[in-house]
Structure 1
Amino acid sequence: MNTRLIKPVMLAAAAALTLSACATATPYAPAGPDSRYGYSEQRIDSDRYRISFSGNSVTSRDQVDMGLLLRAAELTRDNGYDWFATVNRATDRDVRLTGMRDPFYYDRYSPFWGPSWRYYRGGYWNPWRDPFGPNFDVREIERFEASSEIVMGRGAKPANDPNAFNAREVIDNLGSRVPRSM
């Protein structure tokens, strides 16, 4: 085997692993001083909590919503209750556009000629050209945060309340679908 090829291949593999570690969904873990992403809760009353789950830019809305419901179910179970109902549940979407000028073309050509801009959205780059604007790449960064106040109860959950959940069923159904921290 050619030993001159082994080092570049190993370096490329290490770089790919490093980059893939940076691009992972928010794990199910408490948010804290090291990361603002994850779940947090605040006790309001003996049977009431305010809960939130914040995801990074590669965490889908579904994952954020599942993280919120799973945390609510775990708090309900850990406090000795059987069911919880969500009150004022909301999922917020934060979208930011980031752009960077192309340093080679920006100062060297008129605004009427230059390379096309590219716009990243939905997992792919779209060609985009504005003859009167600067030349740069634009990327849309999307993050979700779900929050809810929950009320916990004992016994059978209210039958006619669509916002009431059986805590054990939520844990059984969502527990394996939510990525955990390593």
Structure 2
Amino acid sequence: MNILPDYILLKPTLTLCMICLCLFGCSSVTPTQYQAAMQNGDEGYSHVQLSENQYRVVFKGNKNTDEEEATNFALLHAAELTSANGFNWFTIVDSDTDIETKDVTRVGPSTTKPMQGETTCGLLGCATPSSPNYAGGEVTTKQVKENIMSSLLITMGKGEPKTPLTVFDAQKLAQNLRPAH
């Protein structure tokens, strides 16, 4: 025989379901897709023109974007930018991938343990005093990936390159990277 009302029995189940939904909801951030960054510092690709045929191309991804994907998106944008400006190929003068992290500090549960005092005896008997002894929780700090940024300094060109082994054909590269993304 159940003496508790039905709504009291449902509370633990509902609470557990809400906790699970919150935990799964927090971990479902998808990696940054190939998209233009709307503003400086936003996720996505962007570029800055440095000279007639030289650009800095950047792709910024979130914490779930891996390094290879960020680099591929920067290369894809470099290829599209090269073609859009009427060039056939580009070469990478400099490249850098930066993973930004933040420190996350967690404090474990604290405990209180009784601390035994010295036993003293008198006329009426013996007594052993005890007092609570606070033991703090363990403090741990770890670095967590916040976002990733892949940056390329490229020089664009037309016609036959002087050193064909160090250049990327813009159209072929875009064709190869586009279907995967």
Q: Does 1:148 align with 2:173?
A: no
Q: Does 1:176 align with 2:154?
A: no
Report the Cα offset of residue 51 of structure 1.
0.9
CA, structure 1 residues 31+175, in 2 after alignment: closer, same or farther (shift >3 Å)? same
After superposition, the CA RMSD in angstroms is 3.2
CA, structure 1 residues 141+77, in 2 after alignment: closer, same or farther (shift >3 Å)? same
Report the Cα offset of residue 34 of structure 1.
9.3
Q: Which amino acid aligns with 1:153?
A: G
Q: Which amino acid aligns with 1:105?
A: S
Runs of 4+ in 1 over 2 A off after TM superposition: 10-21, 32-35, 93-97, 106-109, 136-140, 155-162
Higher share of residues assigned strand: 2
Instruction: Return 5+ residue gaps in structure 1 as ranges.
Output: 115-134
Corresponding pairs, count: 148
Spell out the pairing of 1:103-182 with structure 2 (5 A cutoff): 104-105=109-110, 109-111=134-136, 135-136=138-139, 138-142=141-145, 143-162=147-166, 164-178=167-181
Report the Cα offset of residue 166 of structure 1.
0.5
Q: Percent identity?
A: 27
Alpha-carbon distance between aligned partners in 1 of 2:66 and 2:169, rounded to the nearest angstrom: 24
CA, structure 1 residues 15+98, in 2 after alignment: closer, same or farther (shift >3 Å)? closer
Query: Which has the higher Rg, Structure 1 or Structure 2?
Result: 2
1:57 maps to 63
Decide whether the 8 Å contact of 1:82 with 1:157 is kept in 2. Answer: no
Report the Cα offset of residue 54 of structure 1.
1.3
2:106 maps to 100
